[in-house]
Each structure stands twice: as C-alpha cells, then as structure tokens.
Chains A and B, each alone.
Chain A
C-alpha cells in the first residue's frame, strides 16, 4: 500500500539558511499535517491543511510557513534557521475528520 512520502530524508543546513520540506500524502487523502519532534521529545503539532486551506494551527514559529498544493502535496518552508530547529519533521495524511492518520518516515533536519 502507498504510504506518506517525505523528502528529503535528511537535510543539513547552516544557521540563518532556508529549508523546504516536502510531503506527498497517501492517494485520495485530502488532509495533511506537520509535526516537529526534537531530540528525546514528543511530537509537537505545527499546522494542518484540508483542501489546500489551513485548517488547524499549533506551535508553528512565524519563521515557518506551509501550504498545500492542488495535487495535495504540501511543503513546509523554514527560514532564518536556528540551532533549535534541529529535529525530526513528520508529515501525516488522512481523510478529513479521519479517525487517526498515517505518518511519513520523517525528515531529519540538522542545523549547524
């Protein structure tokens, strides 16, 4: 079965640089979610999209922005990167109002 695809798997950036993470949801899933998991931490909800519109917002920094495109894939843009942004970034997808959703394998971002 198709899963949630995230790219890249690993990313190394320097402080103050910009990073873009991509997420391709399971086919026919219309909702995408982004989470950030710091080392030894639980995942923190950042933002979600349904039908290309922002649906719910969590603890997403102002330096981050995201969008969902017409083919339902989503991108998380992160600017002015800080050392503290080093984390595992998960994308997940579901049908809207779905009872639980499927996570991708994550993108590991390291800021040096």
Chain B
C-alpha cells in the first residue's frame, strides 16, 4: 500500500511571493504517477500538475512547477508569483501505473494555502 504525507497543514504567504508545498510518499512500486490537485472553497477538484515517475525532468505548468526527487520519494510543488485565486486546499496524490488499469488515487491530508493581499 502507498502512503502520501503532507507535513504542512496550513501555509500563508503574501500575494506575488513564491511558496513551496511539501509532499513525501512511500511505495514499493517502480512505475507510478504523482499529482497535485487544488480544491478551492467551491470544493471542485482541479488538476494542477502531474509527473510520471520514469521522467527525470520536473514538470512545469505556467507558474506551477514540481521538484521531483525519486530516490528521496519527494514531490514538492512550487507556486511562483502567487495570486489571490491560488488560495485553496492543495492535495498531493499518488497513482500506481498498472499498465492499463483504472487505478485509484491515494491522497495526502492536504495543505491549506492562504494568499494574503
């Protein structure tokens, strides 16, 4: 079984600052995917960024980037030039890659990110 740990229950930064959310995971799988999902007050689950474990290059999506350290089983999310709309709960998630199956996600407990004006 996999576990995902987010050690920061809540973080608060000023608008335009850069913030990094931490995530570590534990698995015996060799092939897997990692994700960051955002859940704003509307409770909608929104995919922010995703990473395939076999790729060494860190994924980037506009202001969002990850630092994926496979050996350390670490997958942190960096948000640059933070905006008020980034205020949300952020969940780190793990999915094993079973080669064609419909596998479920294992989520961390989440980090509540607050962007202050």
Cβ < 8 Å to A, chain B residues 82-110: 91, 97-110
Are A50 and B102 touching (Cβ within 8 A)? yes
| A49 interfacial contact with B, CB 8 Å | yes
| A97 interfacial contact with B, CB 8 Å | yes
Instruction: Give the nearest-CB partner of B101 in chain A.
Output: A55
Mark each residue of chain A from 71 to 111: 1 if its CB lies under 8 Å from any CB of chain B, else 0.
Answer: 00000000000000000101010101101111101100000
| B44 interfacial contact with A, CB 8 Å | yes
Are A48 and B103 touching (Cβ within 8 A)? yes
Closest 8 CB pairs of A and B: A45-B104, A55-B102, A103-B45, A48-B102, A42-B107, A31-B102, A50-B102, A97-B100
Given contacts A35-B105, A96-B102, 13 further A-B contacts (CB under 8 A): A33-B104, A45-B106, A50-B101, A55-B102, A94-B102, A97-B98, A100-B47, A101-B47, A102-B47, A103-B44, A103-B45, A105-B44, A106-B43
B residues lining the A interface (CB < 8 Å):
33, 35, 37, 42-47, 50, 52, 91, 97-110
